[in-house]
Structure 1
């Protein structure tokens, strides 16, 4: 099906698009809405399993523990509303002092609810996940089996309305998103001996608001024109850090063929990043709280870490040969320097999709998590590590950025400018489902010169990541699945050098009777570091699940 630029522009701008544009991540043409109606699907379950983990490096300990869990996987889909969720509570029971008894709650959810037909929706998402944290601040979704000394919990939620309507010849869109993210106290995080202390993120609130009015080409004029405004506000509790970014922008679309157009815009932006200093003791040294984080001096004046205001612009090209394919690429000036961004969305059918995003924004860890949740589709199945029960970096689905959670990178508290690229592909053909994601993220930290974080200003962390999953229904009663992830983290803030973390799992599931199934799984987890001992562990699990 071929569509003209004018027709596609009239359909393309969705609430998720304008919020992506506000953060610098352009995803035009991607909507979370589906046309199919799958009804309501709810699958609660209980589970019991036995796990053995053998440490291969640097030691040779072998530990055994039991785990019991209860959870629910759910989804619904209608003409205008849809959503998916996976929630799980787990109790780990150790048989020795080497494995502590722990309780873990994990879950992921994403929904879009129609409030007044298709034009007014309520968007929401949430995440609760165990994550491994290194002394450099590097993190990866999902903890390693049996290695609780380096794990902590991440919680994040966001919600807000979105509007898309037609007023005369103009299409008007708007959206608001309120988000909150929290990381539990990382008391057990290993800090490299003699290295800099990693101030681990505590919690933050984010506000994102956008509005735009535009006229498609060949309605009033042969070209399309629009005007919009956006606001990005993030408040990080660590040292009272703050991002305040406001902009207004006019844009133009010039068709040069039925499916190619030149795009561009110009506007004004005012950005400010600020924070307070840490509380000092009588020797002038920063005070560290019981949670291992710097204590903020609330009486100290706010320090400006970064500010810029002035003209912003961009120019690029858009290619849309059909309603299933969209490509944009732009270059411009923002944040006081040259910026590049773009996106590719390709869905050849309802069973597969490819998404690529090139981004450039000023962000915090909390804003990064909220943005990743917003990038997920609304129709997915959670992919969990079969040995640990933890969420993986990907979800199983054929819409949105299914591996958005794999790119979280550093869990440091500092505000940063994030530039990079991410790509994901998901497909489901008959009895087989699979997908993968890959990307690169570079974070250049921004900190006030008169604060305890001054030493990280201008320093960059780099993260290369890869995640993949696959499953095959062997017959009516059995299924085989594989999953894996890897990340190469290179921190300019830590003397331990590059760190390569990886996780690989395989599982066989067999249904015995209606509702009752068994699982046998194996996994290999590890991290290789240049100047620190490597860690590697192999695990095996056998368990039973009853689904009601």
Structure 2
């Protein structure tokens, strides 16, 4: 965790340094002052939580916290950062004293003008893990032992330049994801324990050279290559993906083009087995995860190589609207891709993404961070202080973190669609996101994860927020989320998690504000008792 905090703070400081370097040029002093907004704060609050079902316990605890929210914009650099440390203090054994660090950051830092940038992001968030492996970002109050911490970081350079008439682009990315073990996960009677993801290291590199239409020929041409590797600590699982391809762009009109590509790809998924005891049963470590047999031979779980192709259209009628749709063959099957970005005003944006890929839980989290824009405001649950699945943004996919989904360790084929819309007008801001994610897990036949091979998990999610400024001193806000998980593992069945919070904020003195909030959260499950709880908070915040 110390390394996570250090790198997250670096993400906050690095863009500011880059902006300061840029501002040393011809920018006037007033422009520089508008480019950096940093708001450190401290706060204290009192919380009461009442369990509505299956029990009726009522607990009270205090919460103290410190954090910083920052937004930085330079000529070629931009970043948004929200970091927070919190101490929860219970009055009896019903609520344990806990320390929590949470944060989200996304930065694009110019290293050499616009030609070379450093792309980076980070996440530290609390999640609740259900008996079927489903999880969602957020801490839902109470004293639930089935919560865990997720940490993720990524960084890497990206470049774009011209070599003669050709445009050359490329980049490298290194990412790390870790999940702490929950103290306990409530399982259905007779159900197998969830094999919770531990940690992964991901690497990705790509390069492409191409010429635009009407530069050398009436059509655009390009060639490229890429490499993707993910190493998951659970049973030493590994994804190795290499490809080369050529592509062509055929203009149909000034706003419409047909695009296509063909190439070769080799993909391999492999792992090792768990250590076995004298009876042949897999050994489980103190963290509740299978112990990897590092001396066992690596086993191939999935492998494909050969021709890949895709064909589609790109449409860009204006600088505020762009869309693409493609069909192709990759990973040994037919795939569909698409995206839509529509920004009717500078303060509103619609994003739609249809995706497919071969990844792990760690790769899914890193991909969600990448989809966040560099200009956002983190949305935190006012009762718990923790992050939710959405950020307030008018660029990028503001609700990308809502689709984290299953926390199981097995790698998987992922297909899905995600939609988000965010807007602000006058004193009102709001956003909504929804999506569907389908995961087909992949595991070696001769390993302890063999039962997971081919099992499908489906996840539908919805997240929304709204805020209204009542006057110069007060504001009301409302946030909610829902997540339906349908697991194919054993008798796990469906579960529906939900959270709804309303808050009122008022500034009493300059820099001193108060908050009153109420919330309801819970989970409804097929094979386990339902849980529901209500919470209320009153607190004070001082912003420096």
CA separation in 1, counterparts of 2:236 and 2:178?
15
Is 1:505 matched with 2:501? yes
Equivalent residues of 2:132, 2:493 under 8 A apart: no
1:309-348 matches, cutoff 5 A: 309-348=305-344
Equivalent residues of 1:324, 1:345 under 8 A apart: yes
CA separation in 2, counterparts of 1:87 and 1:271?
38
Equivalent residues of 2:96, 2:143 under 8 A apart: no
Is 1:72 matched with 2:50? no
Equivalent residues of 2:145, 2:182 under 8 A apart: no
CA separation in 2, counterparts of 1:241 and 1:497?
26
CA separation in 1, counterparts of 2:350 and 2:367?
19
* Post-superposition CA distance 1:11-64 (Å, at most 9, x none): xxxxxxxxxxxxxxxxxxxxxxxx997411111111000000011111111111
State the match for 1:353 in structure 2. Answer: 349
1:290-305 matches, cutoff 5 A: 290-305=286-301
CA separation in 1, counterparts of 2:494 and 2:72?
43
1:384-533 matches, cutoff 5 A: 384-533=380-529
CA separation in 1, counterparts of 2:184 and 2:144?
9
Equivalent residues of 1:509, 1:518 under 8 A apart: yes
Q: 1:144 aligns with which of 140, 144, 149?
A: 140
Equivalent residues of 2:188, 2:527 under 8 A apart: no
Q: CA deviation at 1:190?
A: 2.1
Equivalent residues of 2:338, 2:354 under 8 A apart: yes
* Post-superposition CA distance 1:214-261 (Å, at most 9, x none): 111111111111111111100000000000001111111111111111
Q: CA deviation at 1:191?
A: 2.8
For residue 382 of structure 2, give the secondary structure of its aligned residue in structure 1: coil
Bigger relative contact order, structure 1 or 2 (CA pairs below 8 A, ≥6 apart): 1
1:74-153 matches, cutoff 5 A: 74-153=70-149
Is 1:208 matched with 2:204? yes
Unaligned runs of 5+ in 2: 1-26
* Post-superposition CA distance 1:288-323 (Å, at most 9, x none): 000000000001000000000000000111111012
| Runs of 4+ off more than 6 Å | none
CA separation in 2, counterparts of 1:191 and 1:526?
16
Equivalent residues of 1:153, 1:183 under 8 A apart: yes
Equivalent residues of 2:187, 2:528 under 8 A apart: no
* Post-superposition CA distance 1:495-537 (Å, at most 9, x none): 1311000000000000001000000001000101112111000
* Post-superposition CA distance 1:462-510 (Å, at most 9, x none): 0000001111111100011110100100000141311000000000000
Let me know the Cα RMSD of the aligned residues: 1.1
Q: TM-score, normalised by structure 1?
A: 0.93
* Post-superposition CA distance 1:135-154 (Å, at most 9, x none): 21110101211133111101
* Post-superposition CA distance 1:449-473 (Å, at most 9, x none): 0000000100100000000111111
CA separation in 2, counterparts of 1:362 and 1:296?
22
CA separation in 2, counterparts of 1:522 and 1:500?
21
Q: CA deviation at 1:263?
A: 0.8
CA separation in 2, counterparts of 1:206 and 1:539?
39
Equivalent residues of 1:110, 1:124 under 8 A apart: yes
Equivalent residues of 1:187, 1:292 under 8 A apart: no
State the match for 2:20 in structure 1. Answer: none
Unaligned runs of 5+ in 1: 1-34
State the match for 2:162 in structure 1. Answer: 166
State the match for 1:381 in structure 2. Answer: 377
CA separation in 2, counterparts of 1:360 and 1:409?
15
State the match for 1:4 in structure 2. Answer: none
Q: Provide the aligned length of Structure 1 versus Structure 2.
A: 514
Q: CA deviation at 1:192?
A: 2.5
* Post-superposition CA distance 1:64-107 (Å, at most 9, x none): 11100011111110110010101111000111211111110001
CA separation in 1, counterparts of 2:351 and 2:402?
14
Equivalent residues of 1:269, 1:312 under 8 A apart: yes
Q: 2:38 aligns with which of 42, 47, 69?
A: 42
